[in-house]
């Protein structure tokens, strides 16, 4: 069975004034033995301080992207070894905002995930369809194809996390129906099984896209939903911990 992970993505939000929220979240997270892991992914400027704030607690800290290379002439980028050096344990790759704003293809995402694994980080590989792709009836085809192209070659499946985030639901307040989430996560699990065999059962598949304290319980109860990738609701400890409690 896949472990359950509740992960926050702060995006381009947060300064040193936001660190008390990290401390409050860390104080509210129970030890891993309770069966639900908690992670907050913060901007690069906060990684070291967030990792220090969470040190000694069950809260894990992650980054929001990484470059596919470990070092080099890539001004403004951050490499996976740099992220690991801060004390972080995870990194998001392939978020739709990175794919759209920075032209990151699935092939680039696969290379980023491979770089993360090489640096000892757990990659959270994001996939999802646009409203037009869903309206065309091709959502499952689009997303499962994106998944296959975004997986790093030869990866140990026990080290991967997948996050399904319908692009039209991210930050909009719109949430996919329970039936649509069930259908998509079932298809994703099937594609992972085609790729990794029985080991695919252990890969967490998170749902993202306007998950909040009010709808979390219903979404998390869906088969093959193994947690959430939380955007705006992760910026406040009370909201994030409510979702964590639901999980």
**What residues act catalytically?**
95, 165
* CA neighbor of 143 nearest in space, from 115, 122, 117, 169: 169
Q: Nearest 5 degrees, angle CA 198-CA 38-CA 125? A: 50
Q: Which two tokens stand for residue 227?
A: 């947690």
CA 86 to chain centre: 19
DSSP E strands: which ranges in 78-153? 90-93, 122-127
CA 174 to chain centre: 19
Q: Contact, 160 vs 205, CB < 8 A? A: no
How do beta strands 122-127 and 205-208 pair? unpaired
Kind and range of the H or E run holding 22? helix 19-28
């Amino acid at each position: 069975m896949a472990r359950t992970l509740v992960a926050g993505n702060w995006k381009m939000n947060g300064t040193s004034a936001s660190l008390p929220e990290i401390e409050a979240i860390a104080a509210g997270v129970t030890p891993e033995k309770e069966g639900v892991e908690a992670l907050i992914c913060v901007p690069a400027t906060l990684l070291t301080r967030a990792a220090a704030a969470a040190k000694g607690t069950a809260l894990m800290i992650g980054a929001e992207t990484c470059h596919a290379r470990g070092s080099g002439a890539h001004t403004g980028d951050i490499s996976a070894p740099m992220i690991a050096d801060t004390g972080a344990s995870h990194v998001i790759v392939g978020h739709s905002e990175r794919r759209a704003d920075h032209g990151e293809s699935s092939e680039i995402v696969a290379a980023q995930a491979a770089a993360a694994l090489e640096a000892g980080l757990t990659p959270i590989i994001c996939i999802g369809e646009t409203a037009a792709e869903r309206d065309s009836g091709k959502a499952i085809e689009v997303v499962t194809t994106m998944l296959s192209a975004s997986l790093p070659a030869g990866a140990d499946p026990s080290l991967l996390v997948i996050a399904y985030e319908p692009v039209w639901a991210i930050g909009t307040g719109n949430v996919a129906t329970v039936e649509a989430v069930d259908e998509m996560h079932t298809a994703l699990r099937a594609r992972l099984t085609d790729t990794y065999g029985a080991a695919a059962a252990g890969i967490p598949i998170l749902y993202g896209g306007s998950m909040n304290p009010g709808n979390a319980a219903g979404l998390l109860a869906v088969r093959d939903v193994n947690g959430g990738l939380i955007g705006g609701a992760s910026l406040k400890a009370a909201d994030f911990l409510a979702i964590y409690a639901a999980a």
